[in-house]
Structure 1
């Protein structure tokens, strides 16, 4: 199994065999992406003051669909991303967008950003469990670190692919601990605020991995078929590269 391009992966639980690989990772292709009418605002939206003693980037909420939303929950512009933590196109979008999204748009109170981790490759399961391990307000920073160090993690995945595949035969409470260790993930996150013991405890809780798989199944059932898939104010956009997405956000009122 090639852990970088694997298309199907059975995560067996006591309840069901949930299949990952419901979506593909791909760059912008306006000829095939489904989208609605572009979101357009005739006038720019005004800045919204944050709660006392906070900035909007410190306001984080776990959403019912398994996402993490950052920013003003009543922002006039809402950006939603279904992204795979092992998708190079998602990584490129994050690398290009995070500075402006978090340094300008979200801090203004005019934009909220929700990220839903869509597990489409085997390594997405321990990656998602680990970015969710710890306080919710650090979630997006951990996602950003995965994407900022994407090449390094990809090389570790290639080196540890065989051992990671063997880990899938272990008992449930050992399976993703061993996979994460084989891929260098526990040490990676230990350098970013999730201690080795804390990471292992999260990975040993098989209900967390099961929920990641259930979320992936639910996203696929909604028709999400590629990552990144993005919505602006509940309208899907085919603008999945930052320059065109930024233009769409500005048209929606962030200019």
Structure 2
């Protein structure tokens, strides 16, 4: 009688067990965050659905982005949410000092109109008042929710970051409202945006955009957001405390100043 061979470290069964363990670990890590964000999301969708569709473009009905959301009162930040800040000084998709006292994590989609509103109206104020003064760090997370063009735009943003041009690309994309899933984010249009953003090597940009590394980076950001219970864009964590939707600029200023105390 022949004994069953021991599974090698690279065998399919062992890889499957390790994958299951990793998923269980992620669920435990994000459990508290998911509960917290779920409570905020409930209020957000209640406000968004309460007659607000009448004032929006009919083509945007069913939008998973959030224009306005209730913000919870002061509460202790959850340690597992604070730990999501990467604070990597080499992170091309972050701006601000790695040791800034406040970190805002932003989950956004380049096709989301409310993400665009935040980028045009609020982010410049935060950069001027807090990032430039060393108080705030902003860390971008790709969270494409509107289909293939959103995913391609996320890959393109990551590729621009490989040449230290992510934020320039970000500003070009969000410079004006763009019609969703209409070809605005085709491969050629994304390359044109990269050129406008000053990405020097467009051949490398295209290669990086199509790479497994780009896909894995975007999926990592998405998994993080899904693990937290994020279901709409934009969504933010300011030192572990959630804000959903394109809130007024003062809401973000208040949150940053409260976290910096």
TM-score, scaled relative to structure 1: 0.62
When the two structures are aligned, how many residues end up with a matched partner? Answer: 186
Structure 1 CA distance for aligned equivalents of residues 236 and 119 of structure 2: 12
Q: Please state if 1:29 is matched with 2:89.
A: no
Distance 1:60 1:73, change over 3 A: closer
Structure 2 CA distance for aligned equivalents of residues 222 and 248 of structure 1: 20
Preserved contact between residue 60 and residue 68 of structure 1 (Cα < 8 Å):
no
Preserved contact between residue 39 and residue 252 of structure 1 (Cα < 8 Å):
no
Preserved contact between residue 79 and residue 230 of structure 1 (Cα < 8 Å):
yes
| Mapping of residues 119-134 of structure 1, within 5 Å | 119-121=144-146, 122-134=148-160
- More helix, by proportion: 2
Q: Among 209, 213, 227, which residue is 2:215 paired with?
A: 209
- In structure 2, the residue matched to 1:48 is none
Preserved contact between residue 91 and residue 147 of structure 1 (Cα < 8 Å):
yes
Q: Please state if 1:61 is matched with 2:94.
A: no
Distance 1:253 1:216, change over 3 A: closer
- In structure 2, the residue matched to 1:78 is 103
- Which SS does the other structure have where 1:74 is aligned? coil
Preserved contact between residue 75 and residue 112 of structure 1 (Cα < 8 Å):
yes
Higher relative contact order (CA 8 A, sep 6+): 1
- Which SS does the other structure have where 2:94 is aligned? strand
Preserved contact between residue 125 and residue 213 of structure 1 (Cα < 8 Å):
no
Q: Please state if 1:96 is matched with 2:96.
A: no
- Which SS does the other structure have where 2:111 is aligned? coil
Deviation, 1:60, is 4.9
Task: Give 5+ residue unaligned stretches, structure 1.
Answer: 1-22, 41-58, 165-178
- Which SS does the other structure have where 1:92 is aligned? helix
Structure 2 CA distance for aligned equivalents of residues 39 and 145 of structure 1: 37
- More strand, by proportion: 1
Deviation, 1:82, is 0.8
Structure 1 CA distance for aligned equivalents of residues 127 and 137 of structure 2: 10
Structure 2 CA distance for aligned equivalents of residues 87 and 119 of structure 1: 9
Structure 1 CA distance for aligned equivalents of residues 210 and 104 of structure 2: 32
Deviation, 1:239, is 6.7
If you compute each CA radius of gyration, which structure gives the higher value, 1 or 2? 2
Distance 1:39 1:228, change over 3 A: farther
Distance 1:244 1:218, change over 3 A: closer
Distance 1:250 1:143, change over 3 A: same
TM-score, scaled relative to structure 2: 0.61
Structure 1 CA distance for aligned equivalents of residues 93 and 76 of structure 2: 22
Distance 1:72 1:206, change over 3 A: closer
Deviation, 1:91, is 0.6
Deviation, 1:149, is 3.1
- Which SS does the other structure have where 1:96 is aligned? helix
Distance 1:238 1:118, change over 3 A: closer
